Amino acid sequence: MNILIVEDEKPAARRLTRMLEKIDLQVSAAVHSVKEAVEYLSSNTAPDLIFLDIQLSDGLSFEIFEHVQVDSAIIFTTAYDEYALKAFKLNSIDYLLKPIDAEELEQAVDKYKLRFRESDNSQSTVTNINPADLQQIAALLTNQTTSYKNRYTAKVGEHIKLFTADEIQLFYSENKGTYINLHNGRNYLIDSKLEHVETELDPKKFFRISRQAIVSIDSINDIVAYTNSRLKVKINSFDEFDLVVSRERVKEFKGWLEG
pLDDT tens for 102-138 read 999 999 898 888 876 655 554 333 445 666 566 666 6
Q: How confident is the model at residue 62 (pLDDT cuts 50, 70, 90)?
A: confident
Identify which of 15, 10, 210 has the alpha carbon closest to the alpha carbon of residue 100.
Answer: 15
Identify the pLDDT of residue 89. 59
Examine the pLDDT at 10 and tell me if it is beyond 60: yes
pLDDT at position 61: 87
* Over residues 216-228, mean pLDDT: 93
| Predicted local confidence at residue 147, as pLDDT | 65
CA distance 106 to 159: 42
User: What percentage of the chain has pLDDT greater than the value 70?
Assistant: 82
β-strand partners of 192: none
pLDDT at 39: 96
The SS3 assignment for 249 reads: helix
pLDDT score, position 96: 85
Mean of pLDDT values over 5-13: 92
Average pLDDT for 203-216: 93
Checking if the pLDDT of 13 tops 50, the result is yes
Confidence of residue 168 (pLDDT cuts 50, 70, 90): very high
State the sign of the Cα–Cα–Cα–Cα dihedral 9, 15, 19, 20.
Answer: positive
The mean pLDDT value for 87-99 works out to 67
212-215 long-range contacts (CB < 8 A, ≥24 apart) are 212/172, 212/173, 212/174, 212/241, 213/170, 213/171, 213/172, 213/173, 213/243, 214/170, 214/171, 214/172, 215/169, 215/170, 215/243
Residue-averaged pLDDT of the chain? 85
Q: pLDDT value at position 126?
A: 41
Does 145 score more than 50 pLDDT?
A: no
Position with higher pLDDT, 158 vs 95: 158
pLDDT at 259: 64
| Mean pLDDT, residues 72-94 taken together | 67
Distance CA 166, CA 205 (A): 9
